[in-house]
Amino acid sequence: MVGCDLLGLRVFLMDLLLQTLKDGLTIGSLYALIALGYTMVYGILKFINFAHSDVVVLGSWLSLVIADKLLVLGQFQAVPWWMGAVVLILAMALCGTIGFTIERLAYKPLRKAPRLNVLITAIGVSLFLQNIGQQRWAFGTGPRRIPTLLDDATLLSIGQVNVKMLDVVGAGTALLLMIALDWLVFHTRIGRAMRAVSHSPANASLMGIPVDRVISFTFVLGSTLAAAGGFLWAMKYETIKQPADASWTLLGLKAFVAAVVGGIGNIRGAMLGGLAIGLLENFGVAYISASMRDVYVFSLLIVVLLVRPGGILGKAVVEKV
């Protein structure tokens, strides 16, 4: 009898472990996607783009609006399989445009200003987007449900753990986008220009690199990734909270922590950090306490700042006078 109970316990523990791993990796890939936007902007302009989390929100809400509109316009019998992809691409394009506009209007006039001023402007942009989004004519102050775009069938079950369609598609999309970004940054001309500007804007401009255009491109890239993150987030949780909800800022903060943990300014670091944060959070929730969910991530941040301020993949920077 005792052996039987032990076996049951072992199966339960195994399931819990697998479930936590799966949750951690799916959420972690989302964090990573959002963290990339923070890390790219930080790498080039050296400031925390607080408005990035609000672009994620925009991505979520625009996906909802686009999906609603398309479903009404198309009058489909059933939701076609390509619907999700179309919504994603449209949301990414719109958010890219918005990111470009934000950069041109709010950040570009401050290119030569102290970093603190840019940081404050970013907070201003963030507050502006949140509160415009809250207006009645925009997205309103209540949560809404995104229409189901993908049949969430179970693809694979191991014990009690079900790997579902959305998990695979979500993590897969995130992974694909990250691979594409990695290729773009490390194997193309514009990617080399981005790395050059990140290294030294002044020298890059002497070498004939159009610095302003590269910065704009970085913002567009970050914003499209944020939109993808927002879309996948909406697909995963279905209910989208109002734009000024604290959980959005918290999502952005965690993504930023992921960027810092991986080494701020380092693109592969952000991916690694995102996965690490996702795993840590879910293991904390599963094995310690669910109500302390938000505490683990920030504790990790403080530990990383104490032990290895450069992050996992970051290099210690010696400041020269």
Partner 1 sequence: MADLQRDNLNQPPSTARAAFDAVWPLLAAIGVGLLFQLVLRPNLNPYTAILMLTIGVNIVLAVSLTMVNGFTGQFSMGHAGFLAVGGYASGIITYYGSQKLFGSGALRAGMLNGMPIDASGLPLLGGGEWLFVIALIIGGLVSAGLGYIVGLPSLRLKGDYLAIVTLGFGEIVRVLIQQSGPVIQSPEQVKDAPLWKLPTAVGGALGFGNIPQYSSLFWVYLVAVITILVAVRLKRSSYGRAFLSIREDEIAAEAMGVNTTKFKIRAFVLAAFFAGVAGGLYGHQLGVSLSPTDAGFQKSFDFIIMVVLGGMGSISGACLAAIVVTLLPEYLRGVAEYRMVIYALALILMMIFRPQGLLGVHELWDAAFWRRKKRGGAR
Binding site for partner 1 (CB under 8 A): 46-48, 106, 109-110, 113-121, 123-128, 130-132, 134-136, 246, 249-250, 253, 256-257, 260, 291-295, 297-298, 301-302, 305-306, 309, 319, 321
Q: Residue 7 or residue 302: which is nearer to partner 1 going by CB?
A: 302
Q: Residue 43 or residue 170: which is nearer to partner 1 going by CB?
A: 43
Torsion, Cα 246 229 179 278, to 10 degrees, reads 40
- What is the C-alpha to C-alpha distance for residues 215 and 109, in angstroms, rounded to an integer? 13
What is the nearest approach in angstroms of partner 1 to the Cβ of residue 153?
A: 36
What is the nearest approach in angstroms of partner 1 to the Cβ of residue 138?
A: 11
Distance of CA 28 to the CA centre of its chain: 9
Tokens at residue 76, please? 């489909």
- What is the C-alpha to C-alpha distance for residues 169 and 162, in angstroms, rounded to an integer? 14
**Angle, CA 233 vertex, CA 151 and CA 265 arms, to 5°:** 140
Q: Residue 55 or residue 87: which is nearer to partner 1 going by CB?
A: 55
In single-letter form, the type of residue at position 75 comes to Q
What one-character DSSP code corresponds to residue 319? Answer: P
Q: Residue 135 or residue 154: which is nearer to partner 1 going by CB?
A: 135
Q: Residue 58 or residue 92: which is nearer to partner 1 going by CB?
A: 58
What is the nearest approach in angstroms of partner 1 to the Cβ of residue 193?
A: 24
What is the nearest approach in angstroms of partner 1 to the Cβ of residue 261?
A: 11
- Smallest Cα–Cα separation from 207: which of 225, 218, 192? 192
Please check whether residue 271 is in contact with residue 36, taking contact to mean a CB–CB distance below 8 angstroms.
yes
- What is the C-alpha to C-alpha distance for residues 71 and 77, in angstroms, rounded to an integer? 10
What is the nearest approach in angstroms of partner 1 to the Cβ of residue 291?
A: 6
